[in-house]
Copies of this chain bind each other. A is one copy, B any other.
């Protein structure tokens, strides 16, 4: 809803700009914010890079700890967050846990940001 629409010839000083009261998409914002938060840590981004560099975008945890210089429980914690947010899937193969990138989740989030950059009224 537009409550004020100052034109270039409007000399009133108590009007700053159009007031647009369109309610922002609260639930959607909350959902995307949660996903963005899951990616907002350098260790998790590096984990995704490492996994993505493996054939098929799939890697086992045992090869993710040493290159990052953090402990195994820390990697496990981060992988859980990434899995809960839908960026990877977990699969047990024998004694090893494999995590696989879900490209669609990253792509969807990227497109959300690009759409937001194009939203101009």
Contacts and interface: CB of A to CB of B under 8 A. Distances in A.
A83 interface: no
A106 B101 contact: no
Instruction: Give the bracket for the number of chain A residues in contact with chain B.
Output: 35 or more
State the oligomeric state as a number of copies.
2
A117 B107 contact: yes
Which 3 residue pairs are nearest across A and B when measured between Cβ atoms?
A: A110-B113, A106-B117, A52-B119
B113 A113 contact: yes
A49 B119 contact: yes
A49 B63 contact: no
Contact of A49 (B13, B24, B50, B54): B24
A73 interface: no
A84 B67 CA distance: 31
Contact of A101 (B46, B103, B117): B117
20 contacts: A16-B62, A16-B98, A17-B54, A24-B45, A24-B67, A29-B49, A33-B42, A37-B41, A39-B113, A49-B116, A52-B119, A53-B121, A54-B121, A56-B120, A57-B119, A57-B120, A101-B117, A103-B120, A106-B116, A110-B117
